[in-house]
Amino acid sequence: MDIWTFTQDGYREEDIVTNGNRFLVGNGYMGFRGTMDEWGRRQMAAVCLAGVYDQNGDRWREPVNAPNGLFARLTVNGADMALGAEKPLEHRQTIDFRRGVHKRDTLFEPVRIQSERFASMAEPHLLRSRLTLTFRQDAEAELLCGIDTDLWDINGPHLFDYTYKTSPFLLTEARTGELNIPVAAAQNASADFPCEETREAAETGVFRRLRFNAAAGQTYTITLAACVFTGLDGPNPGERAQALCGQTRGFAEDLTAHEAAWEAVWSASAVELHGGGGEAARSLNASLYHLHSIAPRHAQSLSVPARGLSGQTYKGAVFWDSEIFLFPVFVHTEPELAKTLLRYRIDTLPGALRKAAEYGYRGAFYPWESQEGGAEGCTDYNVTDVFTHRPVRTYFRDKQIHISGDIAYALWKYYEITGDDSLMREGGAEVILQCARFYLSRAHRRADCDKTELLDVIGPDEYHERVNNNAFTNQMAAHCMSCAIALADADTDFARALIQKLDYDADLALLREIEPKLRPVFAEGALIEQFDGYFSLEDASLAAVRSRVLDEREYWGTNHGVAAHTQIIKQADVVALTALFPSLFSDQTVERNWRYYEPRTEHGSSLSACMYALTACRFRRPDLAWEHFVKTASIDLSGGGKHWAGEIYIGGTHPAANGGAWMIAALGFAGLSVRNGEITLNPCLPEQIETLRFPVCARGKRVTVTVTRQGWTLE
Interface residues with ligand IFM (CB under 6 A) are 306, 314, 319-321, 460, 462, 605, 607, 656
Nearest approach, Cβ of residue 461 and ligand IFM (Å): 9
Nearest approach, Cβ of residue 594 and ligand IFM (Å): 19
The dihedral through the CA atoms of 597, 660, 532, 511 has a sign that is positive
Residues in the chain: 715
Nearest approach, Cβ of residue 484 and ligand IFM (Å): 24
Nearest CB to ligand IFM, comparing residues 97 and 319 = 319
Nearest approach, Cβ of residue 70 and ligand IFM (Å): 29
In degrees and rounded to multiples of 5, residue 408 shows phi and psi of: -60, -40
Nearest approach, Cβ of residue 650 and ligand IFM (Å): 7
Identify each DSSP E strand in 412-471 by its residue range. 444-445, 452-453
d(CA 1, CA 62): 39
d(CA 297, CA 262): 12
Contacts of 611 (CB under 8 A, 6+ apart): 571, 572, 575, 576, 579, 660
Q: Is 453 helix (H, G, I), strand (E, B) or coil?
A: strand
Contacts of 232 (CB under 8 A, 6+ apart): 51, 52, 181
User: Is 687 marked active-site?
Assistant: no
- Rounded alpha-carbon distances, angstroms, from residue 134 to 73, 102, 180: 15, 19, 44
d(CA 463, CA 557): 4
Query: Residue 27's closest CA among 126, 117, 95?
Result: 126
Per the CB < 8 A criterion, the answer to whether 571 and 501 are in contact is no
Per the CB < 8 A criterion, the answer to whether 350 and 357 are in contact is no
Nearest CB to ligand IFM, comparing residues 38 and 461 = 461
- Helices then strands (H, E): number in the chain? 22, 30
d(CA 320, CA 335): 18
Nearest approach, Cβ of residue 674 and ligand IFM (Å): 25
What is the Cα 491 distance to its own chain's centre?
Answer: 37
Nearest CB to ligand IFM, comparing residues 241 and 645 = 645
H-helix or E-strand spanning residue 460: none
Nearest approach, Cβ of residue 604 and ligand IFM (Å): 8
Nearest CB to ligand IFM, comparing residues 255 and 410 = 410
Nearest CB to ligand IFM, comparing residues 189 and 656 = 656
Choose, from 462, 515, 554, 591, the residue flagged as catalytic.
Answer: 462
Please count the other Cβ atoms lying within 10 Å of the Cβ belonging to residue 387.
11
Per the CB < 8 A criterion, the answer to whether 338 and 331 are in contact is yes
d(CA 108, CA 93): 15
Bridge partner list, 610 = none
Nearest CB to ligand IFM, comparing residues 172 and 530 = 530
Nearest approach, Cβ of residue 573 and ligand IFM (Å): 10
Nearest CB to ligand IFM, comparing residues 214 and 656 = 656
Identify each DSSP E strand in 512-560 by its residue range. none
Nearest CB to ligand IFM, comparing residues 32 and 314 = 314
d(CA 487, CA 496): 9
- What positions carry a catalytic annotation? 462
